Structure 1
Amino acid sequence: MDKLRPTIEAIKKYHFWVLCGALVLTVLVCWWMSTSGMAEQFNTQESKIKNAFSGVQGIQSGHPNQRTIDEIKKRDAELKQNVFEAWEVLYKEQKEKNPFPTEELGEDFQRQFETLRPQEELARRYRERYQNFIKERLPKLKKMIDALHPIEPEGDEAAGVPAAAGLAKGGELGGVGRIGGAEAEWVGVVEWLDADYAKLESKFFWQQAPTTLAVVHAQEDLWVYEALLRVIKNTNEGATNQNNAIVKRIEAIDIGSDAVAAWQSAENALGLQTTERTGGPGMQGGDMGGENLGGPGRTETGGTPEEQLNRQIMDLRYIDDKGKPLPYQPQYPHANHPYSEFKMMPISMRLVMDQRHIPRLLVWCANSNMPIEVRRVRLLKGAAPANTGSSTGSPSTRGGEFGGIPGGGRSMGGMEGPGGMGGMTGMGGMGGYRPSPMRGTEGQDSETGTHDVPIEIHAIINIYNPPDRDKLGKGAASTGPAEGAPPAPQDATLQE
């Protein structure tokens, strides 16, 4: 016992360090035992997972089960049949709601037109017949919407005065004009700016017999214009004059390449152009391309006269599923459409209307003879509409939103508004909207209501092609979206 006493005393003296050493040793032993077990389990599970993957990869991609293959083919055929039947229904509805002008052009023309195969030519007599028809048809577009027009004076007052001579549109305040010194009363519901209507007429003005491609697409344009004007007519249903109409003025109706330029102008104004959203060659930025898009008067160089004419008709006329305008291609059908079932045509309408009834207008767009898919609605409160007394104004020469002085506190027509927000280039003062007087019948020359504002609608019309089972699902979109293509304008209502 005496021999152990020194050892016990040493342990008592250094017991702390002894316990620390024992504790560390115990922890190390436990750690080694646990980690070795976990490592073994990890290796076991990893081996199982790898074996499972190897087993799946060993299965043939073309499964030898013929029953499964037959069922897949059956369902695929059923799906194609359903799509084709829907295509037939939509095309039939489009044809019924947009009838061919057989009465004016004749049944023989209709047969030739509807049975025309790709790249076939219409006989010259048919093309000349259409040239005469379109000249007589365009004025009926104004009658469709009951556009404002003067009642020509009768009797001695009108003697010796040509129909279009001496006509003044009511001076600065609108209302009553003069024909050869006689006052003319204006009647109708909607004012259609002369500059825009003249632009429409110029599209169908041919000095010689048009080509087959020009005739086919002119008729397509006519159907689209009629559909858009019918929307305005239905929106104004029940109106007896301009004062109680919902849509009071048509500032611009653009389709095809003209609408492309309008979309681009809107994107510039909204600041949506970024370096990340660029188009293809010659289309610098944005859904609708950039500054090289041009308009109906743009010129192209190179190629035969026929090819130049085809380019003028087809270039940027349609868009793809991403909202990118389709450039002209020399090969028929001169554009790489995303879908073989239908073509997508962009449209733009700039109107002055009662903003409380915008939903009504959009409903008629959806229920149109050619359904209109609205992508953007802009309330242009920063720009007053052009004075109706001007017969020469155009979107490119008016102030405010459509090309006026940059910023500032003065809106169009010389009507001064609050300074307030300067805004973007080409935009009037944000607080100074005062509607200009509307032209009406005698005693109806009051100003527009406080709810009347200029709006701009950007939309797409799907034009269905004749059903062809061989072309089902053969469009460019079936190969996937174009890399780097920008999206079309999203559904949105923006107030400026």
Structure 2
Amino acid sequence: MEQLKPALEFLKKYGFWIAVGIILLGSVGVWFKVTGDLVAESDRRASAIRGDVSQVKSVRAEVPEHPNSLSHEEMEKMIENREDQVLDAWSTVFEKQKDILVWPEKELTSELLDHYRDKIPIESYISFPILDEEKIPTALLQQYRYYIANVLPDIAKIAKAEWTAKFDTSNSSAMGGMSGMGGMSGMMDDMGGRMMSGAMGNGLSDISISGVKKGPLVRWSNGAQSELVSELFPWASRRPNELEIYYSQENLWILRQLLAIIADVNDEAQQPFEAQIREINKLSMGRKVRFIAGKLASPGIGGMGMGMGMDEMGMGMGMGMDDMGMDMGMDMGMDMGMGMGMEGGMSEIDPADNRYVDPDHQQITGSQLRSAFESDSPTDAPLKVAKRVPVMMSVVIDQRAIPELLAACGSAPLMVQVVQTRILGGPGAASRSSGMDGDMGMDMDMGMGMDRGMGMGGPSMGTPSTGSELFPLDVTVEVYGLIHIYNPPQKDKLGVDQITSETVIDGETMAEKVENEKAANNVAAPDSALPAPGTNPAGEPPVAPATDPSQPPATVPPGTEPSPANGENPGQPGAVPVQPGAEASEPLAAS
């Protein structure tokens, strides 16, 4: 026992530190053992994953299609079913269109109609330049020219308007037949007619004994009509060629539809004061229509006296002058070239150039259109399905009827896909603010402005005024849209088998399209999961807290009243709470 005392004394003195050292060494040993095992297990599993990935890659390289034959067969059935649905829809709209795009059998001979009937698209049957075997007798070309000149008055009656313009402007536009001269000569004819009517009885002969104003339901100035003729029928002073006949007939179909839309909005109106649309400022289609965004005008700015406000003139100049050189060159080339090319003066210009647009609303040439019809590439599928004709209509309308106008465009048999709508000022606003369009702004709405006394106020030359003093809700509205002329369904021409993830259609690859659709679905999904207003997350209505009947009812401080319940004044926000420390008379700043 005496021998152990030194040892016990030593342990008693240094035992704690000895124990700490032992525990520390043990812990380090255990840590090295555990971490070594974890690293080994991690390396083993990572190696296994890398092996599986390389194995999958090798299988993908050897088997390009889905290894599950059943899944592959079912997916092919779904794709084929979707293709059939698209083809059925395409066939439906094409067959419906055939009942609208009808050639006039009573006015034209069957010999002429046989050259165009069922030839859609015409670019696949008549090439450019026109080959000798594709040409038709001169007498038939002249026959169609006479038909156009005689049918325009009847077409104007669709909208209960009156046609007063001359079709052949060769005598009055002796300056080379430039586009826009027809509008200028029509404006002068319109001015002369107004002056003559003012001299003959101060316009009182236009009022019947019952006090009802005589004349058309919808005003359509001679200048606007002459401009339309020069735009749609640049060959009016000569004989058209085979392609121009088809495009002119297509213009007539579209013109009928635009006037039918106006008639639909006016419904059963019999007098101008009953009409929703009282005046046609401009109708345009094809290469002169530009989908260019405008800019907001400052409120309260008056007109310039020629039917054009300062901001609107600036917008028209800014949007039109940039393209004026191109438009003027195209107009002069189209009118003069097509008129003189057959006489050996200038080379002919393809009438299909810039007449149609692609899905991005960019104009395309006739050669691009023809190459798309011959191509089997899926990137050309949108052009092979339908030709997109840009259209524009500027009208003076009661602003309360603008939704009816847009609805009529969307429900028309030859539907107008509205792309842009511009609401300008009153009847004196510029109908030409969309650009000069090669006419150098010569009419500047003078056909309409002269009727209103050059915008200087008051009735003009004895004609009853239709200005804002009579119809204060009238505004000038410009509607820009697309009309689709569908081609015959041809599934084999769409190049469906060539589509890959890198195929670009409508400006984006198919992979991007899928990702965008997924993103859109992910964004829309949370909204459907939100609880209904007035319920807790479980979908149950909130339970009002119990109140003590012995306590007086709580008073609500002024300015903190809750919003009214549904049925009292739905959709209206409640009063803004008064901030602590704010003066009662101090208004709160709007956020």
| TM-score of the superposed pair, with normalisation by structure 2 | 0.57
Closer, same or farther in 2 for the Cα pair 1:298/1:445, shift >3 Å? closer
Closer, same or farther in 2 for the Cα pair 1:191/1:76, shift >3 Å? same
Is 1:125 the counterpart of 2:139 in the alignment?
A: yes
1:40-439 mapped onto 2 (5 Å cutoff): 40-57=40-57, 58-59=59-60, 60-62=63-65, 76-116=79-119, 118-119=125-126, 120-147=134-161, 168=192, 177-178=197-198, 183=203, 184-185=205-206, 186-202=214-230, 203-206=232-235, 207-260=237-290, 263-264=291-292, 267-269=293-295, 294=327, 297=331, 299=333, 305=341, 309-311=348-350, 313-329=351-367, 332=370, 338-381=382-425, 384-385=428-429, 396=441, 413=455
Deviation of residue 338 (structure 1)?
A: 2.8
| TM-score of the superposed pair, with normalisation by structure 1 | 0.66
Deviation of residue 398 (structure 1)?
A: 8.1
Aligned match for 1:449, one of 471, 475, 483: 471
Deviation of residue 200 (structure 1)?
A: 1.2
- The one-letter code of the counterpart of 2:469 is E
8 Å Cα contact 2:360/2:507 also seen in 1: no
8 Å Cα contact 1:386/1:398 also seen in 2: no
- The one-letter code of the counterpart of 2:156 is K
Structure 1 residues 262-302: Cα deviation after superposition (integer angstroms, max 9, x where no partner): x23xx25369xxxxxxxxxxxxxx9xx96765266254899
Structure 1 residues 22-79: Cα deviation after superposition (integer angstroms, max 9, x where no partner): 8876776665455444434433443343333333331410468877776666655554
8 Å Cα contact 1:318/1:345 also seen in 2: yes
Could you say what secondary structure the match of 1:346 adopts?
strand
Deviation of residue 106 (structure 1)?
A: 2.5
8 Å Cα contact 2:369/2:383 also seen in 1: no
Structure 1 residues 401-449: Cα deviation after superposition (integer angstroms, max 9, x where no partner): xxxxxxxxxxx9368xxxxxxxxxxxxxxxxxxxx97999879888343
Closer, same or farther in 2 for the Cα pair 1:123/1:65, shift >3 Å? farther
- The one-letter code of the counterpart of 1:452 is D
Deviation of residue 134 (structure 1)?
A: 0.9
Stretches of structure 1 lacking an aligned partner (at least 5 in a row):
151-163, 272-285, 388-393, 401-411, 416-435, 486-496
Distance 1:205 1:42 in 2: 80
8 Å Cα contact 2:392/2:480 also seen in 1: yes
Report how many aligned residue pairs link the two structures.
406
Return 93-102 or 22-31, whichever deviates more.
Answer: 22-31
Deviation of residue 138 (structure 1)?
A: 1.9
Identify, as 1 or 2, the structure richer in strand. Answer: 1
Deviation of residue 355 (structure 1)?
A: 1.6
- The one-letter code of the counterpart of 2:220 is W
Corresponding residue for 2:527? none
Return 327-336 or 301-310, whichever deviates more.
Answer: 301-310
Is 1:481 the counterpart of 2:505 in the alignment?
A: yes
Could you say what secondary structure the match of 2:327 adopts?
coil
8 Å Cα contact 1:235/1:364 also seen in 2: yes
1:8-27 mapped onto 2 (5 Å cutoff): 8-9=12-13
8 Å Cα contact 1:189/1:241 also seen in 2: yes
Distance 2:471 2:480 in 1: 25
Closer, same or farther in 2 for the Cα pair 1:111/1:299, shift >3 Å? closer
8 Å Cα contact 2:266/2:275 also seen in 1: yes
1:28-39 mapped onto 2 (5 Å cutoff): 32-33=32-33, 35-39=35-39
Aligned-pair identity (%):
23
Could you say what secondary structure the match of 1:413 adopts?
coil
8 Å Cα contact 2:198/2:462 also seen in 1: no
Larger Rg over CA atoms: 2
Could you say what secondary structure the match of 1:316 adopts?
coil
CA-based RMSD of the aligned residues comes to 4.7
Could you say what secondary structure the match of 2:274 adopts?
coil
Closer, same or farther in 2 for the Cα pair 1:443/1:118, shift >3 Å? closer
Is 1:465 the counterpart of 2:498 in the alignment?
A: no
Stretches of structure 2 lacking an aligned partner (at least 5 in a row):
127-133, 165-187, 207-213, 298-318, 374-379, 432-438, 446-453, 510-591
8 Å Cα contact 1:339/1:477 also seen in 2: no
